[in-house]
């Protein structure tokens, strides 16, 4: 149960960082309220369908999860910058203990993000169905992807670089290339191709399909496989790089 001691410590570090929590949990609420307000000003039948609450909520939820990359990356980069990790590397903790310790505390944050997003969406007019629970459940796959990406970047970059790359690049990539704010078809061309190659769009479509009860579509359209493939690849890469980087040869 060595991993548990390290996990508890990581969880405390996350909870005690109000700024990250405010961004991770507050930002999606603000976005949902803002975009719904914009949508309410657009006459019925005009404007993109993305701003309809049942389409908007999965997009905002995936966007919110991009902050998990920032949280995980900062945690690891901060630890690498301090001597704490150096001390811990001389203990019997294994690479798996570290990765579990950094990953596990972020998954409840992802669940909280989902719950907050959908509660606000219900208040804004989303119809209540059991699919909401399934949408939150399936969002744990992209949550794991974003967390692994944070660990990967936190292993390679310093705290300042992680702040820049995760805080700006990853969140913007998620925002623009996920099709959350506007359909990728509206832009088309290379933008659409890149969007479909990356996992962000598929993470949103997967959650949308789950919310709309299109369970077979999740599998047949391949969204879940793309997200799963990215998650496994980034997670494994994060473990390999963390192990080799930490055990400097």
Among 28, 84, 100, 138, binds another protein (CB under 8 A): 84
According to CB under 8 A, which residues from 220 to 249 bind another protein? Answer: 247-249
According to CB under 8 A, which residues from 86 to 125 bind another protein? Answer: 86-93
Whether residue 195 contacts residue 179, with contact meaning beta carbons closer than 8 Å, is answered with yes
Angle made by CA atoms 226, 142, 16, in degrees to the nearest 5: 160
Whose Cβ is closer to another protein: residue 163's or residue 222's? 163
From the list 33-41, 80-88, 126-134, 230-238, the region that binds another protein by CB under 8 A is 80-88
Tokens linked to 105: 């505390």
The distance of closest approach from Cβ of residue 109 to another protein in the complex, given in angstroms and rounded to an integer, is 16
Long-range CB contacts (within 8 A, 24+) of 26-30 = 27/63, 27/64, 27/67, 28/60, 28/61, 28/63, 28/64, 28/113, 28/116, 28/117, 28/120, 29/116, 29/117, 29/120
According to CB under 8 A, which residues from 4 to 43 bind another protein? Answer: 4-6, 8-9, 12-13, 16-17
Whose Cβ is closer to another protein: residue 142's or residue 154's? 154
How many residues are there in the chain? 249
- Contact footprint for another protein (CB under 8 A): 1-2, 4-6, 8-9, 12-13, 16-17, 82-84, 86-93, 247-249
């Amino acid at each position: 149960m060595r991993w548990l001691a390290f996990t508890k410590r990581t969880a405390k570090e996350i909870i005690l960082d109000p700024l990250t929590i405010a961004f991770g949990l507050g930002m999606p609420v603000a976005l949902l309220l803002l975009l719904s307000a914009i949508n309410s000003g657009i006459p019925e039948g005009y404007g993109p369908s993305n701003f309809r609450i049942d389409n908007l909520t999965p997009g905002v939820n995936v966007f919110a999860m991009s902050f998990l990359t920032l949280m995980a990356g900062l945690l690891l980069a901060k630890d690498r910058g301090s001597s704490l990790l150096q001390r811990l590397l001389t203990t019997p903790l294994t690479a798996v203990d570290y990765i579990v310790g950094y990953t596990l505390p972020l998954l409840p944050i992802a669940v909280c993000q989902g719950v907050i997003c959908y509660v606000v969406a219900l208040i804004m007019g989303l119809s209540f169905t059991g699919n909401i629970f399934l949408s939150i459940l399936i969002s744990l796959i992209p949550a794991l992807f974003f967390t692994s990406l944070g660990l990967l970047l936190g292993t390679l970059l310093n705290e300042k670089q992680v702040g820049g790359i995760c805080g700006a690049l990853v969140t913007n990539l998620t925002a623009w290339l996920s099709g959350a704010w506007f359909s990728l078809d509206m832009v088309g061309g290379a933008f659409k191709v890149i969007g479909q190659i990356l996992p962000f769009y598929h993470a949103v479509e997967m959650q949308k399909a789950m919310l709309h009860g299109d369970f077979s579509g999740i599998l047949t359209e391949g969204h879940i496989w793309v997200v799963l493939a990215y998650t496994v690849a980034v997670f494994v890469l994060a473990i390999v790089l963390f192990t080799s980087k930490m055990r400097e040869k």
